[in-house]
Homo-oligomer: A and B are copies of this chain.
Amino acid sequence: MDFSLVRNLMDPAILFFFFGILAASVKSNLEIPPAIAKFLSLYLLVAIGFKGGVALSASGFTATALVAIGAALIMAFLVPIYTFLLLRKRTSAFNAAAIAATYGSVSAVTFIAAQQYLTKNGIDFGGYMTVAMVFMESPAIIMAVLLAAIVRKQQAQAEAYAGAKIQSVPGSSPISIKTVLHEAFTDGAHLLLIGSLVIGYITGDAGKAVMAPFTVDIFKGVLAFFLLEMGLLVARQLRQSKDLNPTLVAFAGIMPIFNASLAIGLAYMFGMSKGDALLLAALVASGSYIVVPAICRYAIPEAKPGVYFSMSIGITFPFNLVIGIPLYFAAINMLWA
Contact = CB atoms under 8 A, between A and B. Distances in A.
Contact of A218 (B32, B35, B191, B214): B214
Given A26-B186, A36-B36, A217-B218, 16 more contacts: A10-B206, A12-B210, A16-B195, A16-B199, A23-B188, A23-B192, A28-B186, A30-B188, A35-B35, A36-B39, A46-B225, A211-B224, A213-B213, A213-B218, A214-B220, A214-B224
A202 B12 CA distance: 9
Interface string A209-231: 01101110110111011000000
A185 to B, nearest CB: 8
Nearest to A36: B39
B33 A38 contact: yes
Interface residues of A, number: 53
A139 interface: no
A39 B33 contact: yes
Of the listed residues A39, A222, A225, the one surrounded by the most CB atoms of chain B closer than 10 A to its CB is A39
A126 interface: no
A148 to B, nearest CB: 22
Nearest to A43: B225
Interface of A: 10-12, 15-16, 19, 22-23, 26-36, 38-39, 42-43, 46, 50, 182, 185-189, 191-192, 195, 198-200, 202-203, 206-207, 210-211, 213-215, 217-218, 220-222, 224-225
A15 B203 contact: yes
Contacts of A213: 213, 217-218, 220-221
A217 B219 CA distance: 13
Contact of A19 (B10, B42, B43, B199): B199
A117 to B, nearest CB: 13
Nearest to A218: B214
Contacts of A182: 27
